[in-house]
Structure 1
């Protein structure tokens, strides 16, 4: 009938619609919000209206100006209390929508300069300071700092004439005190433009040489560690029984790999202060050297402010501020003498030595060694096997000015004053070694061009396995009471020898609250694994609280970030040591890490700072190593075994020989599994061009930076392809990088943006098959230097869809037979 036909047609139509909806839904991908933005000039300044409601109606949208001119703030998401501000660049062609990439910066700013007139207990250290917020983290890479952000930040610091700067960011660095950005800060921001630059030392402790860059490794910065005191324990951590004032267990420690102190000073490393509105918390407790750094920066702001008020136009260099803070810090028993900041004492120091011209300078030390060193650091066994002799050069670093740089020689009044200051400079210094195993001359005369002296370090009679520290302190002979003008750290980690058993017992280590015990072991050549065995009985556990310990083991390899041979584990002692019925039972924990033969291993065990009670722990370290004998590496006396295997695909079989250089190994069952395939891509297009924006200029020259854009065609043959991209010449580096920035972005065949990565490339997922575009950008001040990279390959490691397991047998005949 007609009705039945109509019903049938309707059913078919509805079924067809359902099929279409299913098809569309399967192909749908939420690419995030799409907001209309209209930028215009109102006759006085640039403004923008943004359709945050996604209604398409801009008539009711607020037209915001640049925050730096108008203080305009808009709501990006009313429900989530998420706000934004605007900036305009390139004569309105670039609209920058500025939001939080996380809660970190708000908390840091609150510590430094929060101001609550009705609640002064919530004020920051310097509540009268004016804040300049500079975003160096990029939300596209998890708020990681980028070279672009760092460069633009230091340009803004100079543009706005900031007196002090705080940087609660940092990463491990393969080489200390190098890199174009680090040197720009030291020479331009600090030395030439007079900004006191404060930075966090890192949260990678408690092992030695765990400071991060830039704050814990670089000249020009004030590197700050994290301290916890009685008031913090009561107000922030609700401890029913407190411990002694101490350094937070996780706070990074020096020295740097080149022997410098690493941490200059300590400040409170925790705070309850401001948090972003979108987090639904007004105040929040956070800890870290990210918190101690703004605390110290607030102190620096107070000192600069007081100087301006009381000393008028008298010059105040960042070096003078650092000298006052470091010289008056309260001793806390730290390894290399860094103390807890004392604000009032620092101010009294500034006033007392206001007329002392030498306070305006910093000191650059250089120790003649196999590397560029700023201190003396004898870490490996061969370095402390005999007395060592060093030539040490000391050079004063004078502040300079932009005016002197720009003026002509014929009317160079500022330059004349700087030259006269250097001409008048002299220091008659008394040199003192704090330990008998360090020998130095009694006196040293230093003029503006510096001087040298010889030092002898004899570690042959020092106890093996322990840390030994000293310093070479220089005093002004006319005012010894001032304290050291500069100090050169001396660090010796004389390691224990490991015998043929490939094991070493570190004995029973005794712990009390906040206790840290370090032992140093010479890893046998050829060792690739270390097993750290902890044993604790409950003899004292019945009378003592269970406790959390940090086991932190680390080796250093030249020009390598310290995380390569690094293990930091939390171990609970006392929680598992009770036998059935309350009887005695031993607790045993074994932790394993990769090691490299020939380099000293630090085994650091620390009772976490807030843990109570006394604990005894037996520690044993065991080594083993099975390495290819035909991998192209050589086993040097006392040196590492570099292992690698090359198998030619055209051969049906390959012979692999292995050796166990550390101790006999039995029941070896080698397996070879192929998981990745490496492809090498060459760029199909490479273009070098200058960057036009004022914020993308080189601070020292004022000229535009250059960018090299490299385009690579990436072909994927299946969906959901996992891969990792590498460019060894410029990746895995930020602060030590010779370039201004390295970044890459991937676009699909329709030019749709997919993903970004920066220096620390990581595995990523390409969902669609076919061709994608990988665009790499490298920025540098020299177009000539970039020319050498126009044909640089991009390495692509593709994860195989199914891993390939190769057949391994102990004899040739078994490979080709099934029985």
Structure 2
């Protein structure tokens, strides 16, 4: 059997179990990789670096209490920031309750968490619905925000299809759905965008790519933002955006948002809703340069870019219950500003807004970073004797 990477050959362990496997052979047979049902994440990411992979999908998720912490977060962050591998992962299938997004896709800042979307045409063709209903996300698609205040779901993609399944099912095709389907769909879309950029010789980084993905995603009015994220993946819009806006000072910069150790503001406790209580928070923004496999000469160039880095930002928010400054000057060091919230004016229910930071020299390229704010205002029930 030849290397799958070259000949696309595979075989089975036996005709009884119907479990397929393949091998990849490197350095004239010195290294072999056996591909079967499972593989450690550390080995997977190492292999992706060896073959110089650009984008990877991981349709796996689990509940996690801590964000941006642990061995998995360390490995994913290294793959994205140091080696230039875009990491997409399923948001989880634990909806519709809020704060049900899973790890690693929605709990690691370097990753891209993908929710599951269903269109009216999908409902008719795949689920035999008698009537079309508006565009939406699946009810079971996990919802944000993450427990540290981040939105959680980055974007959404179609999460269902009648598709081929392994032979051990004794069935050629099945109706399948899940964020484990929406995430590879989005990964394929990302591969299309990156292929076009490479073809045209347009430079990009993991930082600029994720920012363009978010800024060009299409909003769906009938879906809630906690399950949809910033919107639906738009291949054409994203490619046009990155073709027009590239080679910018912030292309290799991620802007890490920190609010009391979290990645956003999330209020849901009764003590947060006391009458007359104004909430004041300090938001810390830390620019971080990604290396993305830079050569020595490029690293020297990036050091000079770090010294010269300075951007004038306009801060905006569309909700009057959020009070913020209008300007932030940022350079290659942590900067902070104060946010004041007046949640007393809010009606019971879930409220979400964002503080958006625009480069004043080019508003058209979209926000450089966002500070998510979620308030879950409880309903007060009066019990009468």
Fold in common (TM above 0.5): yes
More strand by share: 1
| Paired residues for 1:558-569 under 5 Å | none
The answer for unaligned runs of 5 or more in structure 1 is: 1-63, 101-134, 137-148, 405-411, 504-819
- SS of residue matched to 1:207: coil
Within the candidate set 75, 78, 88, 1:184 is matched to 75
Query: Matched residues in 1 for 2:12 and 2:328: separation?
Result: 63
Query: Matched residues in 2 for 1:251 and 1:446: separation?
Result: 37
Between 1:271-280 and 1:292-301, the stretch displaced more is 271-280
Match of 2:272 in 1: 383
Q: Is residue 205–residue 292 contact of structure 2 (8 Å, CA) maintained in 1?
A: no
Per-residue deviation, 1:388: 1.2
Match of 1:429 in 2: 313
Per-residue deviation, 1:244: 0.4
Q: Name the larger-Rg structure.
A: 1
Per-residue deviation, 1:359: 3.6
More helix by share: 2
Is 2:286 aligned against 1:400? no
**Closer, same or farther in 2 for the Cα pair 1:95/1:394, shift >3 Å?**
closer
Match of 1:350 in 2: 242
CA RMSD of aligned residues (A): 2.7
Query: Matched residues in 1 for 2:292 and 2:18: separation?
Result: 44
Q: Is residue 303–residue 321 contact of structure 1 (8 Å, CA) maintained in 2?
A: no
Q: Is residue 76–residue 84 contact of structure 1 (8 Å, CA) maintained in 2?
A: yes
Per-residue deviation, 1:65: 6.1
Query: Matched residues in 1 for 2:169 and 2:232: separation?
Result: 32
Is 2:229 aligned against 1:341? no
Query: Matched residues in 1 for 2:322 and 2:220: separation?
Result: 23
Number of aligned positions between the proteins: 378
Query: Matched residues in 1 for 2:70 and 2:298: separation?
Result: 29
Is 2:378 aligned against 1:495? yes
Provide, for residues 515-547 of structure 1, a one-character-per-residue CA deviation record: whole Å limited to 9, x for no partner. xxxxxxxxxxxxxxxxxxxxxxxxxxxxxxxxx
Query: Matched residues in 1 for 2:52 and 2:113: separation?
Result: 22
Provide, for residues 279-335 of structure 1, a one-character-per-residue CA deviation record: whole Å limited to 9, x for no partner. 23333221111111011101110011000001x2x4321122211211111111433
Match of 2:10 in 1: 73
Query: Matched residues in 2 for 1:94 and 1:155: separation?
Result: 13
Query: Matched residues in 2 for 1:87 and 1:346: separation?
Result: 33
**Closer, same or farther in 2 for the Cα pair 1:65/1:210, shift >3 Å?**
same
Q: Is residue 216–residue 234 contact of structure 2 (8 Å, CA) maintained in 1?
A: yes
Q: Is residue 323–residue 359 contact of structure 1 (8 Å, CA) maintained in 2?
A: no
- SS of residue matched to 1:293: helix
Match of 1:155 in 2: 46
**Closer, same or farther in 2 for the Cα pair 1:458/1:150, shift >3 Å?**
same
Query: Matched residues in 2 for 1:480 and 1:88: separation?
Result: 48
Higher relative contact order (CA 8 A, sep 6+): 2
- SS of residue matched to 2:208: helix
Match of 1:365 in 2: 257
Provide, for residues 523-574 of structure 1, a one-character-per-residue CA deviation record: whole Å limited to 9, x for no partner. xxxxxxxxxxxxxxxxxxxxxxxxxxxxxxxxxxxxxxxxxxxxxxxxxxxx
Q: Is residue 116–residue 179 contact of structure 2 (8 Å, CA) maintained in 1?
A: yes
Query: Matched residues in 2 for 1:94 and 1:160: separation?
Result: 12
Per-residue deviation, 1:185: 1.2
**Closer, same or farther in 2 for the Cα pair 1:88/1:400, shift >3 Å?**
closer
Per-residue deviation, 1:356: 2.8
The answer for unaligned runs of 5 or more in structure 2 is: none
- SS of residue matched to 2:49: helix
Query: Matched residues in 1 for 2:175 and 2:370: separation?
Result: 36
Query: Matched residues in 2 for 1:83 and 1:173: separation?
Result: 32
Is 2:118 aligned against 1:234? no
> Normalization by structure 1: what TM-score?
0.44
Within the candidate set 67, 76, 85, 2:22 is matched to 85
Match of 1:486 in 2: 369
Match of 2:352 in 1: 469
Within the candidate set 198, 210, 235, 1:322 is matched to 210
Query: Matched residues in 2 for 1:95 and 1:344: separation?
Result: 38
Q: Is residue 366–residue 393 contact of structure 1 (8 Å, CA) maintained in 2?
A: yes
Q: Is residue 434–residue 473 contact of structure 1 (8 Å, CA) maintained in 2?
A: no
- SS of residue matched to 1:357: coil
Per-residue deviation, 1:232: 1.1
- SS of residue matched to 1:460: helix
**Closer, same or farther in 2 for the Cα pair 1:403/1:242, shift >3 Å?**
closer
Is 2:123 aligned against 1:209? no
Provide, for residues 668-716 of structure 1, a one-character-per-residue CA deviation record: whole Å limited to 9, x for no partner. xxxxxxxxxxxxxxxxxxxxxxxxxxxxxxxxxxxxxxxxxxxxxxxxx
**Closer, same or farther in 2 for the Cα pair 1:87/1:444, shift >3 Å?**
closer
> Normalization by structure 2: what TM-score?
0.90
Per-residue deviation, 1:181: 1.8
